Amino acid sequence: MKRRTLGRTGIPVSSIGLGTSTWGAATVPEDAARQLRAFVDAGGNLLDTADVYADGMSEEIIGGLLGRVVPRSEIVLATKAVGVLNDPARRQNASYSHLLKALDSSLARLNTDHVDLWQLHAWDAGTPLDETLRAVDEAVASGRVRHAGICNYSGWQTAKAAVLQSADGRAPLVSVQLEYSLLERGIEREAIPAAADAGLSLLPWAPLGRGVLTGKYQDGVPKQRMRSPFFRAYVGRFLDERSAGIVTEVVSAAERLGASPLAVSLAWVRERPLVAAPLVGARTVEQLRESLADDVLGLVLPDDVRAHLDEVSAPVLGYPEQSVM
């Protein structure tokens, strides 16, 4: 697997990252171990988790695998804080005290003394940004965190945080993690330009359009799946006419290239500006291996195919994203 540099850190990360949101929920520890081994064997090194994934179980599983399945030194380990579970009054908490307590809890679960990338999982409107970023500076200065990033920030939020952290003595941001795929290109309006201006790498989550870009729902959705509230909320947003049209074009391109829709969709994301590593998650090792196959990792879209997919999936850009002068 090819390597790319994460932001301005000099750290090489694999061109595909392994997301672990299912670990501890839909994926049991034994299957997680098989996924990690398959990922490392394919040349992968970027492992992404969060303190709220499966209420901490994802981090616990990783902590049990590092050193046993793969040496800690071979993994670029990324986790997140800010999310809050079991508190209907507050879904985000980016206060100084909460963040540093969350970091220490993550390190204990991960069985390590540091993480390579610590990410603010979401914007917290209830906490002053200066307070949040003081926690980032403390985490980096203490050695518990090597580098810091942000997730799910809007364009103006990204710009504000990046400018504050660019000052002397502050811990600069190196990455932004955002949903990005042929079905979700809204970040191209303002978030990507802000990240580019700050020199941040992009780590796309849901690069396969929450599974829809694989084409598996072209012939309909099983009734049992549609009964699931999570499925309707998470996947259902891409089961519309516009998305179906894009999927049809992806399938057509895949047939022309002798590739899978999954391969075409991942290749499109990998080639986008700023992208360091799309994050791919899977419930089973068999699903993961589909993303790690040599013909998937090696696929480069012809210029005309890429241009066509750009056109059919283009987000609406207008004033002020595009100048009218």
Would you state the pLDDT for residue 87?
83
3-state secondary structure (DSSP) of residue 29? helix
Q: What is the DSSP letter of 142?
A: T
Would you state the pLDDT for residue 324?
55
Hey, how many other C-beta atoms are within 10 angstroms of the C-beta on 49?
A: 28
H or E segment to which residue 38 belongs: helix 29-41
3-state secondary structure (DSSP) of residue 321? coil
As a whole number of angstroms, the distance between CA 280 and CA 216 comes to 17
Q: Is 53 an annotated catalytic residue?
A: yes
3-210+262-307: CATH topology is TIM Barrel (3.20.20)
Angle, in degrees to the nearest 10, between helices 303-312 and 241-257: 170
Would you state the pLDDT for residue 162?
98
Tell the residue number behind the tokens 């990792």, with chain if given. 297
State how far the alpha carbon of 159 is from the alpha carbons of 139, 193, 321, in Å: 21, 9, 15
Would you state the pLDDT for residue 224?
74
Written as six digits, the tokens of 184 are 């979700």
Per-residue pLDDT of the chain (325 residues; tens, 9 = 90+): 999 999 999 999 999 999 999 999 999 999 999 999 999 999 999 999 999 999 999 999 999 999 999 999 999 999 999 999 988 888 999 999 999 999 999 999 999 999 999 999 999 999 999 999 999 999 999 999 999 999 999 999 999 999 999 999 999 999 999 999 999 999 999 999 999 999 999 999 999 999 999 999 988 887 777 777 878 888 889 999 999 999 999 999 999 999 999 999 999 999 999 999 999 999 999 999 999 999 999 999 999 999 999 999 999 888 888 765 5
Would you state the pLDDT for residue 103?
98
As a whole number of angstroms, the distance between CA 62 and CA 305 comes to 38
Nearest-10 Cα torsion for 266, 268, 274, 275: 0
The string of DSSP letters for 95-109 reads -HHHHHHHHHHHHHH
Choosing from 53, 153, 180, 217, the catalytic residue is: 53
pTM of the model: 0.96
As a whole number of angstroms, the distance between CA 15 and CA 1 comes to 7
